[in-house]
Amino acid sequence: YLATLGTGAQVFTVEMSAGTNPTLTVTISDTTPQNSTVTPTTAVFDKYAQASGYADVTAMITPRGNTLSDVTLGGTSIGSTNYSYDSTSHVLTLKKEYLATLGTRAQVFTVEMSAGTNPTLTVTISDTTPRTAPNLTATAGNRMVVLSWDTVTGATYYNVYMSEIPGVFIDTALATVTEATYQVQNLNNGTAYYFLVKAGNTGGLNVQSNEVNATPATTPAAPTNLIAVAGNGSATITFNVPSNNGGSSVIGYEVYDANKNLVGTGNSSPITVSGLKNGTTYSFTVKARNAVGESESSAPSNAVTPREPINNDDGGSTPNQPAMPASQQPASTEVVVLVNGKVENAGTAATAEVNGQQVTTIIVDEGKLQKRLDEEGTGAVITIPVSTKSQVLIGELNGRMVKNMENQQAVVEIRTEKATYTLPAGQVNIDALSKQFGTNLNLQDIKVKIEIAEPQAATVRVVEAAANQGGFSLVVPPLNFRVTAGYGERTEEISNFNIYVKRTVAIPEGVDPNRITTGVVVEADGTVRHVPTKIVMIEGKYYAEINSLTNSTYTIVWHPLEFKDIEKHWAKDAVNNMGSRMVVTGTGDELFSPDRDITRAEFAAIIVRGLGLRLETSGGSFTDVKQADWYSSAIQTAYKYGLITGYEDGSFRPNDKITREQAMLIVSKAMKLTGLSEKIAEQSASHVLGEFSDAGNVANWSLNGVADSISAGIIAGRSANSLAPKAYITRAEVATMMQRLLQKSSLINE
């Protein structure tokens, strides 16, 4: 009863039957101990060491006069090393290293106090540690790879990594996804790619998956340039291999007739189809096959009609054998020549070894060729296709054939798998050439040879050394282009032309066309010079189209260059382009000094380099240009090609600054050399220059040249209505002029 009463003095009256009632005072107190508390009473812990939840668990104890004696779990002490208690701040800490050893569930810890009811702290333990992504697989497709992997418990995202080198990956992920699959797009067919995946969540990334690789591929391109030659109940089809194998090696070819019947197979060109009916006309298509599948059909071949053998006068017979490509022909084997794409069996192939190299010569039959030329008329293109693997490939015509081709403005092409050499017959200048051999000779006795050749090892070493010294990379192996004429025991080389002559060099598969700078000539002494070059695509394959006025050893290079002081300059692109092409040079320390004026000698050197002209070594054209001067060769070359004339006193004044009108006059002469002047509409100088308020300041001697440069869009005014002809021209303006001259002449890419 007393325990139900309040604390304090309680006065009880003892009621008696008579008299004064006595009292009893009972002082009540309550010495029951106070219960301690823990705040908070719950917490969470993540066993994944990289997660934010992987941390010590802390709680505040309110002792209420009690003291901490221990912390227990399931009635057993967790040990004093697994927790700590600050008696001043009353903070209890459960250590993360200990918590990580416990199971993943709600763990109820009892905080043992000296008196009162012991409070509890419930810690819910989880483990979000991602598991290694298992079973990563890669499936290749056309320019893509599809990646798939098993989902990972606890993972909220996946990082995908890609490399072209096994075992080597950068830290930056290719992609971050939430699904267990990813499609990698825009890859290069034929290139092996390596992949791995890392699973992650809010705590970060875990270990990587297994590494896989895949090589994207598709079906190959179709074969091209089919040529069919009839035999006895058969036909032999030669063709060019696909320009693109789809990223997977071609494993065979299938030949179909016009009714799409499979009539033959083979592993390479040529393929002979037998079992044909003599007297029946056939045409054929070819498909290439790789591991992915078969290509589209090629364009149809020419139509052919197999026939019986033709009887000889001696009673025997000679089979009408098909012509085989030169790579498989014995000496003096008939081959085809194309005239405007039409097949003519007008060539004879012979292969021999010369100086350790296989040399295949295609000798063109004059009578057969002339008959076809007469049918085709003016401007015919004679193509000599050579599919042999010989290192030296030669097309041979006699002088009379060349003269007739010149009269009919014909062009001859030597076409190989690596390059095509396109030569207008008039550039041989057979009349002048014959005079070098003598008088009263027969033109048919002169043998003109047009040659594409792999250089000898010594020349290759010169090219490689030049690349190393010049700081550029070779994109294709070097090739020699050569034209010679022989009469008896004498041989003359035709090394200079009056117009730009085209050479088309195949870019190897897998080479990025954006990582090609220009074509260069490498002379025998290792001297390197730029030649105007642009990248073109022909039947789905990239080629470098080189135009030059001379023959020599050519190669294609990658030579990126950026000057530090033109990053924000208006002429940045032109300067870097011309610098990369080795047309303009810097002023030192990777600087270009774009706004500096330029001298007449410097301008002559740039115009010569830009046009790809071979330097002349002779001197004496100007009184103030000595052969020892650095600019002597450039000035002599510019003089030879009619680009400069100098002053009336016989001087050139090389160190004088060049004015805008002087530069424009020289550029107008260069336009005649590149053929650009023939493409611009004729307008009077007064009409062209009428928009400029200072047109009257243009000297009479430069008037037409200035007008031509303006009309062609090679140079503009200093402002909307000011030409500033007497002002000095800057280095940036010169680089821009050169780029525009070459672009508008279709010698380099826009």
Q: What's the pLDDT score for residue 38?
A: 95
Query: How far is the CA of 391 from the CAs of 268, 353, 358, 416, in angstroms?
Result: 19, 10, 5, 11
Q: What's the pLDDT score for residue 599?
A: 96
Dmax (CA) of the chain: 181
Q: What's the pLDDT score for residue 404?
A: 93
Q: What's the pLDDT score for residue 203?
A: 64
Joined tokens for residue 690: 């009428």
Q: What's the pLDDT score for residue 207?
A: 62
Segment 467-483 shows an average pLDDT of 91
**What does residue 322 show for φ and ψ, rounded to 5 degrees?**
-70, 150
Segment 490-518 shows an average pLDDT of 92
Angle at CA 525, nearest 5°, toward 584 and 498?
Answer: 65
pLDDT of 318 over the 80 cut: no
pLDDT of 726 over the 60 cut: yes
Segment 213-230 shows an average pLDDT of 90
Kindly tell me the number of DSSP H helices and DSSP E strands found in the chain. Answer: 12, 44
Three-class HEC string of 277-338: CCCCCECEEEEEECCCCECCCCCCCCCECCCCCEECCCCCEECCCCCCCHHHCCCCEEEEEE
Contacts 24+ apart (CB under 8 A), 623-627: 623/649, 623/650, 623/651, 624/651, 624/652, 624/653, 624/654, 625/652, 625/654
Q: What's the pLDDT score for residue 208?
A: 76
Tell the CATH topology of 224-318.
Immunoglobulin-like (2.60.40)
697-709 per-position pLDDT tens digit: 999 999 999 999 9
Report the chain's mean pLDDT, rounded to a whole number. 89
- Higher-confidence residue of 668 and 619: namely 668
Pick the CATH number of 137-214 from 1.10.8.60, 2.60.40.10, 3.40.50.1010, 3.50.50.60: 2.60.40.10
Portions of the chain given CATH number 2.60.220: 377-558
Joined tokens for residue 260: 């799409």
Helix, strand, coil % over all residues of the chain, rounded to 5? 20, 35, 45
pLDDT of 331 over the 80 cut: no
Q: What's the pLDDT score for residue 133?
A: 60
Q: What's the pLDDT score for residue 483?
A: 95
Segment 117-137 shows an average pLDDT of 84
Counting every residue, how long is the chain?
750
Segment 685-702 shows an average pLDDT of 90
Unique residue bearing structure tokens 């797009």: 185
Question: Would you say 496 and 432 are in contact if contact means Cβ atoms under 8 Å apart?
Answer: no
> Whole-angstrom Cα distance, residue 728 to residue 734?
11
Portions of the chain given CATH number 2.60.40.10: 38-126, 137-214, 224-318
Half-sphere exposure of 74 (CA within 13 A, CB side): 3
- Higher-confidence residue of 749 and 355: namely 749
Question: What is the DSSP-derived secondary structure letter of residue 364?
Answer: E
Q: Give the pLDDT band (50/70/90) at residue 230.
A: confident
90-101 per-position pLDDT tens digit: 999 999 999 999
The top-level CATH class assigned to 377-558 is mainly beta
Segment 307-330 shows an average pLDDT of 43
Report CA 18 to chain centroid distance, whole Å. 126
Helical packing angle, 660-674 and 731-744, nearest 10°: 20
Q: What's the pLDDT score for residue 303?
A: 87
pTM score = 0.58
Q: Give the pLDDT band (50/70/90) at residue 388.
A: confident
548-573 per-position pLDDT tens digit: 999 989 999 999 999 999 999 999 99
**DSSP bridge pairs for 362:** 349, 395
Half-sphere exposure of 125 (CA within 13 A, CB side): 22
Instruction: Give the highest mean pLDDT range of 440-449, 602-611, 670-679.
Output: 602-611
Segment 342-365 shows an average pLDDT of 89
pLDDT of 326 over the 50 cut: no
Q: What is the three-class DSSP state of 430?
A: helix
> Whole-angstrom Cα distance, residue 502 to residue 413?
10
pLDDT of 411 over the 60 cut: yes
Q: What's the pLDDT score for residue 51?
A: 81
Question: Would you say 345 and 385 are in contact if contact means Cβ atoms under 8 Å apart?
Answer: no
Q: Give the pLDDT band (50/70/90) at residue 270.
A: confident
Question: Would you say 239 and 255 are in contact if contact means Cβ atoms under 8 Å apart?
Answer: no
Segment 640-655 shows an average pLDDT of 92
- Higher-confidence residue of 159 and 133: namely 159
**DSSP bridge pairs for 487:** 490
48-66 per-position pLDDT tens digit: 887 888 999 999 999 998 9
pLDDT of 138 over the 70 cut: yes
Q: Give the pLDDT band (50/70/90) at residue 724.
A: very high
Q: Give the pLDDT band (50/70/90) at residue 6.
A: confident
Q: What's the pLDDT score for residue 134?
A: 67
Percent pLDDT > 90 in the chain is 66
Unique residue bearing structure tokens 């470098």: 544
Question: Would you say 156 and 178 are in contact if contact means Cβ atoms under 8 Å apart?
Answer: yes
Q: What is the three-class DSSP state of 513?
A: helix
**What does residue 434 show for φ and ψ, rounded to 5 degrees?**
-65, -30
Question: What is the DSSP-derived secondary structure letter of residue 621?
Answer: S
Handedness of CA 625, 585, 546, 711 (dihedral sign): negative
Q: Do β-strands 106-113 and 37-39 pair in parallel, antiparallel, or remain unpaired? A: unpaired
Q: What's the pLDDT score for residue 63?
A: 92
Q: Which of 90, 205, 199 is nearest to 153 (CA)?
A: 199
185-208 per-position pLDDT tens digit: 999 888 999 999 998 887 666 667
CATH architecture of 38-126: Sandwich (2.60)
Q: Give the pLDDT band (50/70/90) at residue 356.
A: confident
Q: Give the pLDDT band (50/70/90) at residue 315.
A: very low
Q: Give the pLDDT band (50/70/90) at residue 313.
A: very low
pLDDT of 689 over the 50 cut: yes
Q: Give the pLDDT band (50/70/90) at residue 720.
A: confident
733-745 per-position pLDDT tens digit: 999 999 999 999 9
pLDDT of 584 over the 70 cut: yes
Cis bond upstream, residue 270 (ω within 30): yes
Q: What's the pLDDT score for residue 735?
A: 96
Joined tokens for residue 589: 């320390």
Q: What's the pLDDT score for residue 319?
A: 38
pLDDT of 311 over the 50 cut: no
